[in-house]
Amino acid sequence: MYTVDILTIAIIETEDAFNWYESQVFGLGKQFIAELDHYISLISQNPYQFNVQFSERFRFATLKRFSYRIVYIINEEQTTVVINSVFHTSRNPVQL
C-alpha cells in the first residue's frame, strides 16, 4: 500500500469542484467526493494500474461518473503517490 500525499492545489481544485456540484444539486458534491476517495484508494493499492500520459512522469486516473481526472506521480523509493491535480477533463493537461 502506498502513502498518498495531496498537493495544496489539488485540494483547492477538489474543494472548488465539490462546491460547484453542491450548488447544482444538494448531495452531488458528496457523491463526487465519494468517487474521488474511491479512486484515491485504488491508486494507493496499485498506482501502476492507471496509464502514463503526456509525460513519462505523470499518471492519470479518470473518474467514471464525473468529468475529472486525478493526476499523480509515483515515488517508488518512498512508496508514496503525490496527487498533483484533480482537474476537469475540459482543461488542457499540458498546462499542469
Structural domain boundaries in the chain: 3-89
Predicted TM-score (pTM) of this structure: 0.88
The class of domain 3-89 in CATH terms is: alpha beta
Tens of pLDDT along 19-66? Answer: 999 999 999 999 999 999 999 999 999 999 998 987 788 999 999 999
Residue-by-residue DSSP string for 27-89: THHHHHHHHHHHHHHHHHH-GGGS-B-SSSS-EEEE-SSSSEEEEEEEETTTTEEEEEEEEET
